[in-house]
Amino acid sequence: MGKILDDEMQQDLPFSLRTADKLRSAIFMALGEASMCWDRTPQGVFDSQLAIKVGELLYWDIVALLLKDEP
């Protein structure tokens, strides 16, 4: 899955780990909802591992942006 934050990384975050968990949850809920946005639900196989990878990459991109914007 995603990266594991060590103690030093956690201290550098501009938000709490609880907020980080809420952010991750919101990202994955949105991915799940978006996967069903079709006129007719596709009949193929949903690649859940790829969806997880997309969610993790998005999460870490957001974290990096938040860290970059901190003074």
Question: Are 31 and 51 in contact, with CB atoms under 8 Å apart?
Answer: yes
What confidence score (pLDDT) does residue 2 get?
Answer: 45
Question: Are 14 and 67 in contact, with CB atoms under 8 Å apart?
Answer: yes
Domain limits, the chain? 7-69
Question: Are 35 and 46 in contact, with CB atoms under 8 Å apart?
Answer: yes
| pLDDT (average), residues 1-12 | 55
pLDDT tens profile 17-44: 778 788 888 999 998 888 887 777 667 7
Rounded to two decimals, the pTM is 0.63
What confidence score (pLDDT) does residue 1 get?
Answer: 41
Angstrom distances, CA of residue 15 to CA of 7, 19, 23: 14, 6, 10
Asked if the model's pLDDT at residue 56 lies above 80, the reply is yes
